[in-house]
A and B are shown apart, each in its own frame.
Chain A
Amino acid sequence: MSVREEIIEILNVIKKNVDYDKETALVDNGILESLEIVSLVNELSDTFDVEITVNDLVPENFNSVDGMVEMIERLED
């Protein structure tokens, strides 16, 4: 499974019925709420074994799946 597919799978567990492929304002439009973001961050760091630091925790990295893929790939390096 690609990083992208894995992220979408995680997102679908956290919240269903969102078109994660297309959505680019998951945070800004309030689609993901505080606790869901906390879950998401925990899941991402666990699944990809990366350390997401406070400076990575900005809306731009979580508004779209692309943003998350980019962040994970950067952190994996």
Chain B
Amino acid sequence: MKNILELLEKSAKKYPDKTAFADIDNADSYSELIKKSMAIGTFVAKKQIRNKAIAVYMTQSVNSVEAMLGVVYSGNHYVVIDGKMPENRIKNIFSIVKPSLIICDAEHIELSEQLDVDFCCISDITETNADEELLNSIRASQIDTDPVYILFTSGSTGTPKGTVINHRNVLAYSEWLCETFDINENTIYGNQTPFYFSMSVSDVYGTLRSGATLNIIPKKYFSFPVQLINYLNERKVNTIYWVPSALALVANWKALDSLKLDYIEKIMFAGEAIAAKHLNYWRKHLPNAMYANLFGPTETTDICAYWIQNREIADNESVPIGKACDNCECLIIDENGKQADEGELYVRGSFISYGYFNNPDTTVKAFVQNPLNHSYPEKVYKTGDLVRKNKYGELEYISRKDFQIKHMGYRIELGEVEAAANAPEKIKNACAVYDSATDEIILIYEGRKFEEKEYLDILAGSLPTYMMPSKIIRIKNMPYNANGKIDRVWLSKNYKTI
């Protein structure tokens, strides 16, 4: 296999009438999806655009998938733009990728008009007569290292970075995914992650590869657990792969105390460290389901390491990230460039991107020669994440390298402080930041009010003295960045004025 469209075509042949993708209002069977994607592909290809970035700018829906695959049929690569993305960020991304075309939905026509790029509305192009000869000739000219999509992440400096992911990356990654978690034609996904976020690659391509069904969960249901659970039951969802904060929502509201999830068999999570407490809540209510913690950056397509739960984890422990995916290797490299049991994580294998779009400086810093190989050129991805091996020989995530601090002469990972701070039941969410000016660890939490002494006593049960926070601040609402992660940068700058 060399093109991701083969996944779609194979499933469409086997399950033509089966629902492939559904949202709250619409659904596409595999044969409908292929027809519409080819129509879109023909429309774009007739504009003589090849090997260029094309923006898909719409509210997440079945249409988004048609547009994404349509772009690939046309021999181009897609860039998914969130329907709610602020105009400045879109312009920022566009200044990097310079898309040749925008495919939007009716809701985003006016906004597209302001972007100085040729655009078309998806409802006007899905009826295009597919030109199979044209699409076949495009396919024949493509190879598996051509890009499928460019995915933008925030980057620590705030300038977006566009990771280029090619056919081989997605094919290798989705093969591992489907084999490891037995994603098959009976899988029914409840999709939570946005298509501009790397985790969605697992949902979308896991579905296409296995002939599964994916249901896009309306975003607003993640504010209303009752609706969320009803929807999952109505759609007979048996597989979810969510960010921990979405799982935490259900746990914090104790939603499963009064409501039952009827079909869930597999629960996977990634994107951030999950609090063991939240995982244990789910396990208590769905003891027979499979739980897996997945770990990886956008640059490794989605994931490079995983842990399928096989033992109890206490509320104050951290959940391991396990071992490297098949056909992928995780190297732990210390400060001297040598292999160690604790250090920075480097990843090698077929899931690794070639680098960032139009950004050679950042690319050479992150995609480097394998420090253990001095004999021939071999690029590996340097994640910037600190990991270690635990007593079970499993990989454990420590923190971002940038989060490691030196306090009172000790090297401290704020992630460990957070793991302990998240344990008490009253705490919804806790975040530790470091003020280098005063050499203090500040703990910020959201949840019911807690006597500082009581909280500190609990922390003292799992943290050595030098890791204890100097200040504890209660915040009504934890701030989040665009990707739904806790906004640590903002917190460390503004904690004094909360």
| Interface residues in chain A, defined as those with a beta carbon under 8 Å from any beta carbon in chain B | 27, 30, 33-35, 37-39, 42-43, 46, 53-55, 57-59
| Cβ contact of A39, chosen from B225, B258, B476, cutoff 8 A | B476
Residue from A54, A57, A58 having most chain B Cβ neighbours under 10 A: A54
Interface extent on B, as a size class?
10 to 19
Q: When the two chains form their complex, are residues B226 and A57 in contact, meaning their CB atoms are under 8 A apart? A: yes
Task: Decide yes or no whether B477 CB sits under 8 A from chain A.
Answer: yes
Task: Decide yes or no whether B289 CB sits under 8 A from chain A.
Answer: no
Give me 16 A-to-B residue pairs in the complex whose CB atoms sit less than 8 angstroms apart, sorted by A's number.
Answer: A27-B220, A27-B224, A30-B220, A33-B84, A34-B220, A35-B480, A39-B477, A53-B253, A54-B226, A54-B254, A54-B257, A55-B226, A57-B224, A58-B227, A59-B220, A59-B227
| Interface residues in chain B, defined as those with a beta carbon under 8 Å from any beta carbon in chain A | 84, 219-220, 222-227, 253-255, 257-259, 446, 476-477, 480
Q: When the two chains form their complex, are residues B223 and A38 in contact, meaning their CB atoms are under 8 A apart? A: yes
A55 neighbours in B (Cβ, 8 Å): 226, 258
Report the Cα distance A27→B254, complex, angstroms. Answer: 22
Q: Distance in Å from the Cβ of A47 to the closest Cβ of chain B? A: 10
A57 neighbours in B (Cβ, 8 Å): 223-226, 253
Q: Distance in Å from the Cβ of A46 to the closest Cβ of chain B? A: 7
B227 neighbours in A (Cβ, 8 Å): 58-59
Report the Cα distance A39→B446, complex, angstroms. Answer: 11
Q: When the two chains form their complex, are residues B226 and A34 in contact, meaning their CB atoms are under 8 A apart? A: no
Q: When the two chains form their complex, are residues B223 and A34 in contact, meaning their CB atoms are under 8 A apart? A: yes
Q: Distance in Å from the Cβ of A57 to the closest Cβ of chain B? A: 6
Report the Cα distance A57→B230, complex, angstroms. Answer: 13
Check A54/B223 contact, CB under 8 A, given A39-B476, A43-B476: no
Q: When the two chains form their complex, are residues B477 and A54 in contact, meaning their CB atoms are under 8 A apart? A: no
| Cβ contact of A58, chosen from B226, B254, B480, cutoff 8 A | B226
A37 neighbours in B (Cβ, 8 Å): 223-224
Q: When the two chains form their complex, are residues B225 and A54 in contact, meaning their CB atoms are under 8 A apart? A: yes
A42 neighbours in B (Cβ, 8 Å): 446, 476-477
Report the Cα distance A39→B253, complex, angstroms. Answer: 14
| Cβ contact of A34, chosen from B219, B253, B255, B446, cutoff 8 A | B219
Q: Distance in Å from the Cβ of B334 to the closest Cβ of chain A? A: 39
B223 neighbours in A (Cβ, 8 Å): 27, 34, 37-38, 57
Q: When the two chains form their complex, are residues B476 and A46 in contact, meaning their CB atoms are under 8 A apart? A: yes
A35 neighbours in B (Cβ, 8 Å): 477, 480
Report the Cα distance A12→B163, complex, angstroms. Answer: 39
Q: Distance in Å from the Cβ of B222 to the closest Cβ of chain A? A: 5
Determine the residue in chain A with the shortest Cβ distance to B476: A42
B253 neighbours in A (Cβ, 8 Å): 53-54, 57
B480 neighbours in A (Cβ, 8 Å): 35
Residue from B222, B224, B253, B446 having most chain A Cβ neighbours under 10 A: B224
Q: When the two chains form their complex, are residues A54 and B476 in contact, meaning their CB atoms are under 8 A apart? A: no
Q: Distance in Å from the Cβ of B223 to the closest Cβ of chain A? A: 4
Determine the residue in chain A with the shortest Cβ distance to B477: A39
Report the Cα distance A53→B257, complex, angstroms. Answer: 11
A30 neighbours in B (Cβ, 8 Å): 220
Residue from B446, B477, B480 having most chain A Cβ neighbours under 10 A: B477
Report the Cα distance A11→B226, complex, angstroms. Answer: 23
Q: Distance in Å from the Cβ of B17 to the closest Cβ of chain A? A: 33
Report the Cα distance A55→B257, complex, angstroms. Answer: 11
A54 neighbours in B (Cβ, 8 Å): 225-226, 253-255, 257-259
Q: Distance in Å from the Cβ of B491 to the closest Cβ of chain A? A: 15
Q: When the two chains form their complex, are residues B477 and A38 in contact, meaning their CB atoms are under 8 A apart? A: yes
